[in-house]
Chains A and B, each alone.
Chain A
Amino acid sequence: MSFLTPLYLLGALGLAIPVILHLLHDRPKNKQAFSSLMFLDKTKPPVDRKRRPTHLLLLLLRCLALLLLVFVFARPFTTVDDPADATQRDRQWIVVLLDRSASMQRGDLWQQAKAKVQTAIGQLGPGDRFTLIAFDDSTEPLAEVASWLGSQSEAKVNARLEGLAKPGFGGSNLGQALVFAGEAIQEAEPEADEPPLAKREIVVISDLQKGSRLGDVQGYEWPAGIKVTLEQIGEDDQGNAGIEQVASRVPWATAGAAPSFRISNSANGISDELEFLAHTTAGETLSQKVHVPPGRSRVVELPGEWAAQPIERLSIRGDAAEFDNQFHYAQNQQQTVRIVYIGEDKPNDAEGSLFYLASAFQPTSTFDFQVEAVSGKSTGPLPEADLFVIGAAVGDALANALGRAIEGGATALMIVQSPSQAANLGQWLGADGVVIRDIASRDYALLHSLKLDDPVLAVFRDARFSDFTNLHFWKHRELQNLPDDGIDVLARFDSGAPAWLSARRGEGRLLVMTSGWTPADSQLALSTKFIPLLYSILQPVLERKTQSRQFVVGGRIDVTRFNNGQAGGGITVTPPGDGAAAVSADTVFTPAAPGLYTAKGAGWSETFAVNLTPTESRTEPIVMEQFQKLGLPMSASTTAPVTAVSAKKTAAHRREYWQWALAAMLLFVTLETVLAAKGSRPAEPVMT
């Protein structure tokens, strides 16, 4: 039995009034002050026994009448469960987003998540639409039922659900999954004979960890009529600690720097004393204690004696969740970058260009720069290089070889220092009659009209770095008879003469500077612009050669960058574990599990490490206000549509009882009146 206006039931508290009045009647009303109660013992209050039965009956009748009055106002009703109603229910579409990220491996979260899916399925009625989507870094629709057919559809969905034996190792991108589900609902085209959908609901079954990325939701305009229900599991998170490598991909880190690792402890962490372990390939385990208070992180540099050993895995111990405590480690290998300087400078001549060039390219943890000097008059073969720097006039044989190399894809930087280089420049630019003329400046020249959009100068695009007025050029040269096409002027002197030029020749490119960086020419070598400029020229080469050995699960690995950027084709990747089958990967490989992988090509083999996304370690739950701030159309719970439907159903088939209650109340009131009148009538005189 239910009530239409249940608040009226509070009126039943009024039953206490006659009962209290009845009790009060039994207490003596008069008070007697007495000097001292020290000689008195408590006695039972006297009772007027003669009147008591009549009173009780009246009390009972009055209470019943009051109770029935409350019933009348509360409007009691019962519902009639009619199976035919099912066909008249409003259709709903429930999209379940099931989190299968690595953090779901904790405890029994996965079983809880599956149970929640079953609960959502249990609320579906015939004709409803249901979509099951699993998500981590990627979003994968698992099951789609356009019209729910009870147990048949349930079996289909369960079969797909059982296929997901356990969660994966990916990071959680909840924002992407929400937008995917929202767009799927928005773009769905209803079929002609399909009944309309009354409700569209997205049910998120996830641990809603802080590491879930929600960026995609920001700014997404939710279609009208969609409600999102968040079914959080694992609210009793006991904290977690995570490990990640710090700045592993900074190319300019010094060569001898020991790798650093950030160990972070969540705010609800159970311990602040963690153990940091290193496992060598020889099976040896090294350990040290690390103090990380809850809510803080600490960067730990790999101790020197550890770094000397071949470490394959690092781990932490002492937190509640184990899933992210391993960190597979593959030491980065230096890539060789060859720079050939063609000129007559001596390496330690501070007045020459080579000295500054060699000083600018110091070896880093990622790159080993090899600067080689070749005389311009050399008749030998041109060495292979990633960058040619030409600082003097070059003999014919070398000039021809350089021209071919540039056409074949090499990058060359020509510093025009004397009119004798005109022939070389004309040859490489494919122009006749190029003349180089020394310009005798009265004081100094400045750069202006810099083309900061060009990739070479893009590094200076930021207003903080685009000021070149402190850079003085004492001497420069003017180039005459240059071809009009194919040459970009990247910068000009304040006289209007081109300072830096860029020309595409075949696959490669030729950069020309009409004033060098020697102290006699300019202040360039001593300015803060020098090294960024040279790195910027080398950028395409460095990008091609930059290849970390640390990756995350679900990340796209460009396998062609292995083997010093010369991996070639036919690469196979062997996943971790004994007997794992090698996977052929031509260009891109996406790892699905953490561990040490081996990439093999023709004549080379390199090991790389794959780990969990660091954000997966942040397992503390997201604050619910954050979802509201992101404008998520939240609903109270998944049960809401069902209760709404049932309310509609009861409206059509309820049976009300208030009329009966009213009639009964009137009957009791009449009885009470008769009894009360009888009790108060004086006894008739007895005739004698």
Chain B
Amino acid sequence: MKIGSLSLRARAVVEGFMSGLHRSPRTGFSTEFTEYRQYSPGDDVRFLDWKVMARTDREFIKKFEDETNLRCTFLVDFSKSMEFGGDDAGVKKSDYARTFAASLAWFLTQQRDAVGLATFDRDVREFIPPRYRRDQLKTILGRLETQPAGNATDLCQALEKLASLVGKRGMIVLVSDFLSPLGELGRCLSLFTAAGHDVRAVQVLHPREVDFNFEDAAIFEDMESGQSMILDPGMAREAYRQKYNAHNAALDAIFSAQGIPGFRVTTTEPLERVLRRFLEERPARAVVRQRRSNGRSAA
């Protein structure tokens, strides 16, 4: 994070990745052939392969892969808790999360994919619908560049609102620390998965949030609620870790139930590696099956 500009940082991260087409989950009008299927009464006769029919005297329907572009929307947490960090132990979580989102956006734009952005804390703050335009990336990077000034996080409320804003199916990349009561998070995430979105969650954490390795007693202040507590970290560490692990286990269970790939990263982890991990990940099976069922069938 030595590079100050977010766009430069993103560019540096993306360099080395080569472009490649994403397969569209839909079959439709395109030039790429996928398979033959025997004609059955009711199929559109326009899709009959006349050459095969002439050659074999049998009716076959040609199926093609639809060459639509990917629509990706980044949901980035701009709450106060994301401001933690920026010390010797690692960068700010918000800087890390914004750089990750910017890098991925850059990468997708390079591939002519439509990219959108939503920022939220307790509620949705900004929403830029996914588009493929020349200045879309500039707009997104500009918005990500602004300093988060949010309050407390209410993931569920923000997700409910976003579900109504994000229209067509596509990829949803949720970037947050998920450090708030989980409550009905599962139900709120299901609003996206049920609508056929390919949801991926990236949990950004600071190393101190993972192991709570403070030394001196201090007045600990909650960055979101402003509450304070006098603590001896040595005495509180064990209980902290237990609760932290339990929280993450619950979060993983929610992701798993919804078929959402979850990425837990700390701000000390190199971004290129995280990006690679992210792109290599395939959507969960259940979601793919659901998408295929929506496919067009040839006559």
Please report A residues at the B interface, Cβ cutoff 8 Å.
Answer: 27-28, 30-46
Q: CA of A41 to CA of B235 in the docked complex: distance in angstroms?
A: 10
Contact of B222 among A30, A36, A42, A43 (CB under 8 A): A36
Complex CA–CA separation, A31 to B231 (angstroms)? 10
A39 to B214, CA, bound (A): 14
Set of chain B residues within 8 Å of A30, measured between Cβ atoms: 216, 218-219
Q: Is B71 in the interface zone, CB < 8 Å from A? A: no
Bound Cα distance from A36 to B224, whole angstroms: 7
A39 surroundings in chain B (CB, below 8 A): 239-240, 243-244, 247
Query: Do B221 and A43 touch (CB < 8 A)?
Result: no
B188 within 8 A of A: no
Residues of A within 8 A of B228 (CB): 31
Task: Tell me which of B30-38, B154-162, B175-183, B282-290 binds A.
Answer: B175-183
Query: 5 more A-B contacts (CB under 8 A) besides A36-B180, A37-B225, A42-B231?
Result: A30-B219, A34-B84, A35-B209, A42-B230, A45-B232
28 contacts across the A-B interface (CB closer than 8 A): A28-B217, A28-B218, A31-B220, A31-B228, A32-B219, A33-B220, A33-B221, A34-B220, A34-B222, A35-B84, A35-B209, A35-B223, A35-B224, A36-B81, A36-B222, A37-B222, A37-B227, A37-B229, A38-B243, A39-B244, A39-B247, A40-B229, A41-B236, A43-B232, A43-B235, A43-B236, A44-B232, A45-B232
Q: Please, how many angstroms separate the alpha-carbon atoms of A39 and B177 in the complex?
A: 14
Partner of B240, one of A28, A33, A35, A40: A40
- Say yes or no: is B206 at the interface (Cβ < 8 Å to chain A): yes
Q: Are B230 and A32 in contact (CB under 8 A)?
A: no
- A42: nearest chain-B partner, CB-CB: B229
Chain B interface size band reads 35 or more
Neighbouring A residues of B239 by C-beta, 8 Å: 39-41
Q: In the complex the two chains form, what is the Cα distance from A34 to B219 in whole Å?
A: 10
Given contacts A35-B206, A39-B247, contact A46 B232 (CB under 8 A): yes
**Contact assessment for A32 and B220 in the assembled complex, using a CB-CB cutoff below 8 Å:** yes
| Bound CA–CA A36/B177 (angstroms) | 10
Q: Which of B209, B223, B230 has the most CB of A within 10 A?
A: B230
Given contacts A28-B219, A34-B222, A35-B209, are A40 and B230 in contact (CB under 8 A)? Answer: no
Contacts of A35 in B (CB 8 A): 81-84, 93, 177, 179, 206, 209, 223-224
At the interface, is chain A mostly helix, strand, loop or mixed?
A: loop
Indicate if the CB atoms of B214 and A32 lie closer than 8 Å. Answer: yes
Let me know if A38 and B217 touch, CB within 8 A: no
Assembled-state Cα–Cα distance A34/B247 (Å) = 17
Per-position 1/0 for B34-64, Cβ under 8 A of A = 0000000000000000000000000000000
A205-B179 Cα distance, complex, nearest whole Å: 79
Q: Is the CB of B230 within 8 A of A28?
A: yes
Q: Provide the bound-state CA to CA distance between A46 and B230, in Å.
A: 9
CA distance A34 to B214 in the complex (A): 11
**B236 neighbours in A (Cβ, 8 Å):** 40-41, 43
Q: Is the CB of B84 within 8 A of A43?
A: no
CB-based contact A31/B221 at 8 Å: yes
Kindly identify which residue among A33, A36, A38, A45 contacts B230, using a CB–CB cutoff of 8 Å.
A45
Tell me whether A40 and B220 are in contact (CB under 8 A): yes
Hey, what's the 0/1 contact readout for B191-206 against A, CB within 8 Å counting as 1? 0000000000000001
Task: Let me know if A32 and B218 touch, CB within 8 A.
Answer: yes
- Inter-chain contacts of B225 with A (CB < 8 A): 37
In the complex, what distance in Å separates the CA atom of A36 from the CA atom of B77? 15
Q: CA–CA, A43 to B225, complex, Å? A: 19
- Residues of A contacting B216 in the complex (Cβ-Cβ under 8 angstroms): 28, 30
- Least CB distance from B220 to A in Å reads 5
Complex Cα gap A34–B231 (Å): 12
User: What A residues does B83 contact at CB under 8 A?
Assistant: 35
Shortest Cβ distance from residue A52 to the other chain B in the assembled complex, whole angstroms: 16
Interchain CA distance A37-B225 in the complex, whole Å: 9
**CA A317 – CA B221 in complex, angstroms?**
74
B224, closest chain A residue (CB): A36
Closest chain-A Cβ to B206's Cβ sits at a distance in Å of 7
Q: A36-B81, A36-B180 are in contact. Are A31 and B219 (CB under 8 A)?
A: yes
B214 surroundings in chain A (CB, below 8 A):
32
**Alpha-carbon separation in the docked complex, A529 to B13 (Å):** 127
